[in-house]
Each structure stands twice: as C-alpha cells, then as structure tokens.
Amino acid sequence: AILAELDKEKRKLLMQNQSSTNHPGASIALARSPLNKDFRDHAEQQHIAAQQKAALQHAHAHSSGYFITQDSAFGNLILPVLPRLEAE
C-alpha cells in the first residue's frame, strides 16, 4: 500500500516537473533530490509504525501474552515477551 502511494506521488511530481520544463529554469531533478529520499524514508517509517501499532493492539486484544514492538532480523513487527522462570 505504501509503495503504491509513493509511486502515485512520484508520478504526480514527475508530471509537475514535465509541465514546468516549459518554463526555463523551473525544472527540478526529483529523482536525485535528497529531500525526495528523506520523504520516502519518513513515509516508510510512518507506515511501519502504523503497522506495528495495529499488530500490537491486535495481539493484546486476542492473546493473554505480552508483546513489544522492536526491530527484528526476521521482519517481525512485534515480539512476544516470555518470562524467565527460575530453575527449581
């Protein structure tokens, strides 16, 4: 979903760029702009944060366990917290 939004925004900006080429000096190289990359990174982080929040709420509502949000090497949005039991 986020990729579709970014692609739509990119097309929109490229169309604006093409229409501005009729005016000398008004065109902007959007593909190489660091601001464009920062925008994409920020949008992706917001999307991931929203997914994490939704996954966390769902897990808490449907499970008696406890979960936290944390980056995972395997792409998990949330991780279960397991208590350590003392060996008897």
Q: Is residue 68 part of a domain?
A: yes
Instruction: Specify the number of domains making up the chain.
Output: 1
Q: Is residue 62 part of a domain?
A: yes
Give CA–CA dist 41/29, Å, rounded. 18
End-to-end CA distance of the chain: 50
Structural domain containing residue 6: 2-81
The residue that leads in pLDDT, 31 or 75, is: 75
pLDDT cut 90: percent of the chain above it: 0
**Range 38-48 average pLDDT:** 76
Residue 56 has φ and ψ, to the nearest 5°, of -65, -45
∠ Cα 43 46 51 (to 5°)? 125
Q: Is residue 11 part of a domain?
A: yes
Q: What is the pLDDT of residues 20-35, one digit of tens each?
A: 555 555 444 444 556 6
Q: Whole-structure pTM over 0.85, yes or no? A: no
Q: Is residue 56 part of a domain?
A: yes
Q: Is residue 87 part of a domain?
A: no
The residue that leads in pLDDT, 31 or 12, is: 12
Q: Is residue 48 part of a domain?
A: yes
Q: Is residue 88 part of a domain?
A: no
